Amino acid sequence: MKNTKTVIETTLVLIKPDGVIRKLVGEIISRFERANLDIVGLGIVQPTYQLIDRHYPKDKKWIENLGNNLIKTAEELKLKIDLQKDYGVKDIYSLGLQIRKWLIDFMTSGPIVKIALRGPQAVSVVRKLVGKTVPFMAEPGTIRGDFSIDSPILANLEKRPIKNLVHASGNIDEAKKELRLWFKNKELL
């Protein structure tokens, strides 16, 4: 039988500039507290380009996935995309790089609240509380479902990332990497 400590996880949540500007910090934090997750690290930062550049992956597969997601969304909505004409790029990888730049620009546009949360299966619990990445697809009762209706096509037309209020680590390995990036050891209880 596993030790109970093996199911206790620590994960990262970032309240993005759109959540801070809309004064949703207290509401978002209270959702995690009501789920009985422990706040073991908390702070507000104005992130630098370098910090956000290190936060988002740079591998080819991840970057191409950004571009492919834009194309997939356009196809689902029966919109025709001309990469060169609409985005000034020639391939999916270049489109992904452009989207990654939009992410960095957005994430450095204002303050971010960084939160380290600990509890049983914290990564999965936080992902459920946050809701689907695309806000208009997020279930009511989730943070994104209750407070955002942004859509990928609107974001793509405006050449910006989706404003979905929060970032939550996707898995335990990502959480460990991101926590090291955003918090010093002495900042975590």
- Cβ density class 61-96: b for 16+ within 10 Å, e for less: eebbbbbebbeebbeeeeeeeebeebbeeeebbbbb
Place of tokens 């834009």: 70
Where residue 98 falls (left for φ over 0; alpha for ψ -120 to 50; beta otherwise) is: alpha
- Specify whether 55 is catalytic: no
Segments in the chain forming alpha helices (H): 17-21, 25-34, 49-55, 60-76, 92-107, 122-130, 143-147, 152-157, 172-182
Q: What are the tokens at 20? A: 């801070």
User: Which candidate in 167, 178, 179, 182 is catalytic?
Assistant: 167
Nearest partner of 108 among 181, 42, 149, 55, judged by Cα:
55
Amino acid at 95: L
71 contacts 82 by C-beta, under 8 angstroms: no
- CA dist., res. 143 & res. 147, Å (int): 6
Residues with catalytic function: 167
